[in-house]
Chains A and B, each alone.
Chain A
Amino acid sequence: KQEVTQIPAALSVPEGENLVLNCSFTDSAIYNLQWFRQDPGKGLTSLLLIQSSQREQTSGRLNASLDKSSGRSTLYIAASQPGDSATYLCAGTSRGSNYKLTFGKGTLLTVNP
């Protein structure tokens, strides 16, 4: 059974700082790893999807990596802005979880002006 953990649960940084959010998973037979952003009380916005055959994906200031052997993914945010403040969720789909997305509990990011 896939389990996904995100550390830290909360992170506060000053504007302009580069930061890394961490995600770990227990089942390395993963099909993909998806990063989402969620604003308070709102829906999920997909940020990046990494397929199992890929090592990383980039979109603007965001870069996500995947290391199946160590069971880890990271989301790198460059030059953070107050508008990046949100909860960031990672989720994986694996053979052992019957195709469902297994979510971590998220990292609440606050970027201070």
Chain B
Amino acid sequence: EAQVTQNPRYLITVTGKKLTVTCSQNMNHEYMSWYRQDPGLGLRQIYYSMNVEVTDKGDVPEGYKVSRKEKRNFPLILESPSPNQTSLYFCASSPHPIYEQYFGPGTRLTVT
């Protein structure tokens, strides 16, 4: 089954404790991206990757890092999480951004 998976689905952590949210797709897509969703602000792009080793900032990249060492994986790294990063995070993939984008199930992160 073609899908985008994210892990963990739910995470509660404390300020400053490094964490990684994984994203994996099995569709051989070149384009992958991360979004966060906040009440009243909607979905905003954090980072995107056009292909392996090619990443760039989206609208709200501060406090996040990404890497793209393999085509299928695009982890999101929070090196020192803060409470304002409490949010619902989505990973997406597509053959190219002008085509349909497929979203993962989301990761609900709470930073206390």
Contacts and interface: CB of A to CB of B under 8 A. Distances in A.
Nearest to B97: A99
Which of the four size classes fits the interface of chain A? Answer: 20 to 34
B76 to A, nearest CB: 16
Contacts of A46: 100-103
Interface string B79-112: 0000000001010100001111111111010000
Contact of A43 (B48, B56, B101, B104): B104
A5 to B, nearest CB: 11
B19 interface: no
8 nearest A-B pairs in the assembled complex, by CB-CB distance = A99-B97, A31-B98, A44-B103, A103-B43, A43-B105, A105-B42, A100-B45, A49-B100
Interface string A44-56: 1010010100000
A87 to B, nearest CB: 10
Given A100-B33, A100-B58, A100-B59, A32 B99 contact: yes
Contact of A42 (B41, B43, B58, B105): B105
Nearest to A102: B45
Nearest to A101: B101
26 contacts: A31-B97, A32-B98, A36-B103, A41-B88, A42-B106, A43-B106, A44-B90, A46-B102, A46-B103, A49-B99, A49-B100, A89-B42, A93-B97, A99-B48, A99-B97, A100-B33, A101-B33, A101-B35, A101-B43, A101-B92, A101-B97, A101-B101, A103-B43, A105-B40, A105-B42, A106-B42
